[in-house]
Structure 1
Amino acid sequence: MPNVRAKPTLRRRRLGGALKGFRGTLTLEAAATAMGWDAGKLSRIENAKAAIPPKEIRPLLTVYGITDPEIIGALEELARNAGKQGWWQSYGTVIGGGYQDYMFLESDAAGIRVYCPGIIQGLLQTAAYARAVNTATTVTRSPDEVAALAEVRQARQAVLTRPGKALKVWAVIHEAALRQQFPTQPQVMPNQLQRLLDLSEMTNIDIQVMPIDASPHPGMAGQFDLISFDGPWPTVVSLENLRGGFFMEGDDVAVFEAAFERTVAAALPVDVSRETIKTIMKEGAPQ
């Protein structure tokens, strides 16, 4: 059967990269011959330009000497889901390719650790806060696009209550982000702070506040997300700016792992953070 042509989705790119890594020093030609394929087919699979059926994962990994059932199962599952569309793709061009890739990672992830110096992480936002922040930061977006982006952020939060596999979130939020005001929408921040308090009661969510008078720490360099996965998949770092986001893997991840540990150490403990959020709410309440 001719190999299926496929779009190079993020999942397919991750699968192809993993298979190429497991091939190791075995040549493309030798691996393809062992499978009864031509080298072009295997090359297309590794470069995410062709699909590989889940049933062919185990025989291919056997050629590579990989027999670990956890690895085989994880790659079979990724092959099974590689071509699936995310619900967010119905929003079309409103969501850029980098953001779509982030949501693919988020939907597959087991946990996310994030440092938020200026904006509360999207998974923790209320709809009103999301609209206000998107209006302020997405300088080229129309009102309709801003509303759509806010809808997406709300829909993303379903991963927090996924049956049997709720996403674990560990967020360190700078106090300055909690004291942000929206003068024309005075209820935005009180409702957002209450949302954080409600979320902090969930067993899969830890929220820490970075006080304004904290000791210097690596998070001062800017926001970053550490996205981790079950099984053999390595952690991915996500960085973002006004022009979009990009991802880092490999040796760079260890730098951000260490940076997050040091950032956490400079932040307030979880229980003290809850009380700090309550205090900020009281200070902002009408007298």
Structure 2
Amino acid sequence: MPHDVSRASLPRRQLGRFIRRQREENTTLPQSQVAAAMQWSHSRYSRLERGEPGKVLDRDLVELGSILDIEDDQVAVMIELARQVAEKTWYNSYNDLIRSNFDVYMRLETEAHSMQIFRPDVVPGLFQTSDYSRTLDRIFFPTESAEEQDRRAELKLRRQRNITRKRNPLTADLVLHESVLHTRVGNDAIMSAQLRRLADLSTQPNLTVQILPFKAGFPTGTPVGPFFVLDFEPGMNTTTSSSLVYTETYTGAIYLEEEADLSLFRKAMAEIQCAALDHTASRNLIRQVARKDPHQ
């Protein structure tokens, strides 16, 4: 089932899911009894388990650990997660530009170790040139000032450091439908530059780009919308699922963490990658379209 995480960060969600699992596995206590033992309202405790905003102190988690029979080392993990909730991120200064349902994805993207992306419609933000991005933003945010548009473009460039930084860059496998190469955004020069950028990025060791050709039809047997499978490196914060799926529509976003959903989207990605052109053929096609004279 999708989780309503439009107001929750990754550490907050991890903390909530871990506490809920410990309560269910270690005790027979319902939420109401745990809340009473903590001298909290039921709603406050239930928000904690759902990963929604709310201040929680170290001593609260120590007491909660005692009530739920959680080992001391796991309580330490809970405290670390709670402290991460309060940490500021590099994109805090852009909060006024980030849609309410996208701040969660921003944190996930920053913390992910690797991701798989399928876009049948548009070049994803991590791979966009500034002009391609600005063209779309001017249409989608028509009332913004020139200064706001500049900051939005700056935000996109900052995000791209996730895949271009030299130390531990994000690994990304991207599959685009061939129609994306021919769907004009801006003018011919903008599209040509975007495609050249895409081809150049595909040569980086942490990135792969494949094109799903028109002739491939529907590899999954049905049209599939855009989706991202994000994987997080195991380590300190392994109290919950280390992977999730992000899908987006015109009106909002959905985050899926259940194993059944992950398996379904991984299967879809494998089928799409199998039907797509290989990396070299994809790069050649991208560069061919980038060189093509649109007036011929």
| TM-score (structure 1 length as normaliser) | 0.80
Mapped to 1, the partners of 2:167 and 2:76 lie a distance apart of 18
Shift of the 75–256 alpha-carbon distance from structure 1 to 2, 3 Å rule, reads farther
Give the AA of the match of 1:161. Answer: T
| Equivalent position of 2:21 in the other structure | 21
Distance 1:54 1:135 in 2: 48
Q: Quick one: which of 241, 249, 252 aligns to 1:244?
A: 252
SS of equivalent residue, structure 1 residue 98: coil
Q: Given the alignment of the two structures, is residue 204 of structure 1 paired with residue 216 of structure 2, yes or no? A: no
Distance in 2, matches of 1:23 and 1:216, equals: 44
**Which runs of structure 2 are paired with 1:1-287 in the superposition (5 Å)?**
9-10=8-9, 11-25=11-25, 26=27, 27=29, 37-38=38-39, 45-47=48-50, 48=52, 49-53=54-58, 60=65, 64=69, 77-136=80-139, 138=140, 141-144=143-146, 145-162=148-165, 164-182=167-185, 185-218=187-220, 220-231=223-234, 232=238, 233-234=240-241, 235-250=243-258, 251-284=260-293
Find the residue that maps to 2:88 and give its secondary structure.
Answer: coil
Amino acid at match of 1:215: G
Higher relative contact order (CA 8 A, sep 6+): 2
What letter is aligned with 1:51? V
Residues 22 and 61 of structure 1 are in contact (CA less than 8 Å); yes or no, is this contact kept in structure 2?
no
Change (3 A) 1:254 1:102: same
Stretch of structure 1 that moved more, 196-205 or 141-150: 141-150
Q: What is the distance in 1 between the residues matched to 2:193 and 2:78? A: 42
1:176-232 deviation line (CA, Å, top 9, x unaligned): 11122246x331111111111221121111110111111322372211111111223
- Report the secondary structure of 2:91's partner residue: helix
Q: Is the 8 A contact 1:114 1:170 kept in 2?
A: yes
Deviations 1:52-100 (A, max 9, x none): 439957x939965668x7x778655433311123332322432111111
Q: Is the 8 A contact 1:120 1:173 kept in 2?
A: yes
| CA 1:73–1:230: 2 relative to 1, 3 Å | farther
Partner Cα distance (1:13, 1:128) in 2:
35
Q: 1:72 to 1:106 in 2, by over 3 A?
A: farther
Equivalents in 2 of 1:225, 1:147: separation in Å? Answer: 26
Name the CA distance, whole Å, in 1 between partners of 2:32 and 2:250.
Answer: 44
Contact 1:29 1:39 in 2 (8 A): no
Aligned AA for 1:85? K
For structure 2, list consecutive stretches of 5 or more residues without a partner in the other structure: 1-6
Change (3 A) 1:286 1:263: same
- What is the rounded CA distance, in whole Å, between the counterparts of 2:66 and 2:118 in structure 1? 37
> Residues 52 and 173 (structure 1 numbering): CA distance in 2 closer, same or farther, change over 3 Å?
farther
C-alpha contact (below 8 Å) 1:45/1:52 kept by paired residues: no
Distance in 2 between the 1:174 and 1:202 partners?
20
Single out whichever of 162-171 and 142-151 deviates more from structure 2.
142-151
Give the letter aligned to residue 207 of structure 2.
I
Alignment correspondent of 2:3 = none
User: Distance between the aligned counterparts of 1:156 and 1:125, measured in 2?
Assistant: 11
> Residue 4 of structure 2 corresponds to which residue in structure 1?
none
Alignment partners' CA distance in 1, 2:91 and 2:283: 32
Contact 2:132 2:185 in 1 (8 A): no
* Residue number in structure 2 paired with 1:4: none
Per-residue deviation, 1:108 = 1.2
Structure 1: runs of 5+ lacking an equivalent: 1-7
With the length of structure 2 as denominator, give the TM-score of the two structures.
0.78
